[in-house]
Amino acid sequence: MWGGMKAYTPQLLLVNIFRGTYLLPSATQQVNKFMQHPQPELSDIRKKNLSNDQRVIYEQITQSAFICQKARGALYQIFCSLDETLGKTILIPAFHCPTVVQPAVLAGYKIQFYKINEDLSIDTDEVNNMINADTAAIVVIQYFGFSFKSDAFKETASINNCIIIEDWSHSFLQTSPLRLAGSNNSIATYSFWKIIPCVVGGGFINRTSKILNSTNYLKQSSTIENIKINKRIIESFINNSNSETLKNALAKFESFRKKRVTNSVNSSDNEKISPKETIEADHYPIEPSFFAKDLPLLSNALLYRADLELIARKRRENFNTYLELTSGINLITPYFSMLPDDVCPWAFPIVLENRNQFDFKLRKEGVPFFTFGEQLHPLVSDIKLISPEARKISQYLSNSTLCLSAHQKLNRQEIEISLDKAKSILG
């Protein structure tokens, strides 16, 4: 499937990396806590005393989960492995990241979009009316780590032999007690790197009675990608350290490597590694490495040595800090006015109407934020696949959603500084 990739030994890969004939992302800029997402630090990889709840989570991941590098890779694996006796249509929320839609498209399924209300809740009446014998699965996005129940259409789904896929890629943790997110009788997908600074890591657990055809799983080797990711993590370790000597050495190495890259681009070197191929050359790629069962060495260590209790507690504290401090800021409307006991939040999502008038100013001032659903999948423009009301609301959410970073490496003082900057812009 992935024809055209050359075979390279680890030694040759390292030689090409040093010579600059294979491009790797650099991290020479100083990494700081005001980043959108948490960055790996050396302390993250040290062994910690884990609670019983954390041990149970890691046992579930190790024993029951299919692990790969990206949640979109996990979705693609699921869609490719569904029983052929199921229907040929996947129901997907109209407000989404395109990487939720594209795996189903590439797996050969038809798509129908269901309505998400302005408060991110599901229009369950519409879903119940859409489910039929041709519906293979319904994807339920658990936006920002908040649980959106599917109870209202579970019976209809069961009658029509339809699988419910809970997309927990925004946060793989739930709290009180600390546990791996997801409910019984569903397939749950995860994206570990959004909560833990392990750079990559995704997967899924099948909690249904449906048997997935594991012979259809794709297990692409990812040696090249693993080396790239390990390099990024090492650079982050250095840039987050207190050693100016190491930082300066890294900066000099990157400067030298970039010169080699420039020279190699202009040369006729025949040993350059060919570009990575994707299943489809578009903006939502499903790359071969996303199916790799083996995570990079350092990503794996960061995942299994994370203090999940501390991470969940800090994220909840930061979310509540935002709730407290944003009440006086004009134009900002939080999606959630309270934090349920069972939520480990990905971010503090807000409604900021006419976001494109402000986001570049916020970014310039160093306010840590990111967007979700800013670009919807092109299929939402097909009037046969979505109702007019669902499209209208999804476009509004797409244009108005902004996610203030609430990760565990931010503290209250840093949030206060960021919000002071936001106030000066938003009034």
Q: Classify residue 395: in a domain, yes or no.
A: yes
The mean per-residue pLDDT over the stretch 25-35 comes to 44
| Element (DSSP H or E) covering residue 313 | helix 308-325
- Residue of higher predicted confidence among 28 and 291: 291
For 307-316, the pLDDT digits (tens) are 999 999 999 9
Q: Which two tokens stand for residue 167?
A: 């997309």
Token pair for 258: 């970039």
The string over 306-334, giving b where at least 16 C-beta atoms fall within 10 Å of a residue's C-beta and e elsewhere, is bbbbebbebbbbbbbbbeebbeebebbeb
Dump pLDDT digits (tens) for 373-425: 999 999 999 999 999 999 999 999 999 999 999 999 999 999 999 999 999 99
**Closest-CA residue to 147 (of 119, 129, 168):** 168
Q: Report the Cα 222 to chain-centroid distance in Å.
A: 19
Task: Report the share of the chain in percent with pLDDT over 90.
Answer: 61
Residue 226 makes CB contacts below 8 A (sequence gap 6+) with: 289, 292, 294, 295, 296, 297
Q: Are residues 99 and 212 in the same domain?
A: yes
Q: Which domain holds residue 120?
A: 44-216
- Please state, in angstroms and rounded to a whole number, the distance separating the CA atoms of residues 400 and 123: 19
Check if the beta carbon of residue 104 is closer than 8 Å to that of residue 321: no
Report the mean per-residue pLDDT for the chain: 84
Residue type, 309: E
Res 251 pLDDT > 90: no
SS3 of residue 273 by DSSP: coil
Residue 52 covered by a domain: yes
- Residues 231 and 298: their CA atoms lie apart, in Å, by 9
Q: Are residues 207 and 321 in the same domain?
A: no
Number of domains comprising the chain: 2
pLDDT tens digits for 271-308? 333 333 433 435 566 666 666 667 889 999 999 999 99
Nearest to 337 by CA among 141, 116, 146: 146
Query: Residue 334's pLDDT is what?
Result: 96
Domain boundary among 163, 198, 216: 216
Radius of gyration (Cα) for the chain, nearest Å?
A: 22
Give the model confidence (pLDDT) of 54-103 as tens digits. 999 999 998 888 888 899 989 999 999 998 889 999 999 999 999 999 99
Residue 379 sits in a domain whose CATH number is 3.90.1150.10
For residues 18 and 14, what is the distance between their CA atoms, to the nearest angstrom? 6
Residue at a domain's end among 216, 234, 258 = 216
Residue 84 maps to a domain:
yes
Looking at the structure, tell me whether residues 75 and 212 fall in a common domain: yes
**50 and 169 together in one domain:** yes
Output the pLDDT for position 220.
62
The residue ranking higher by pLDDT, 267 or 394, is 394
> Which among 188, 216, 244 is the end of a domain?
216
The confidence band for 4, taking pLDDT boundaries of 50, 70 and 90, is very low
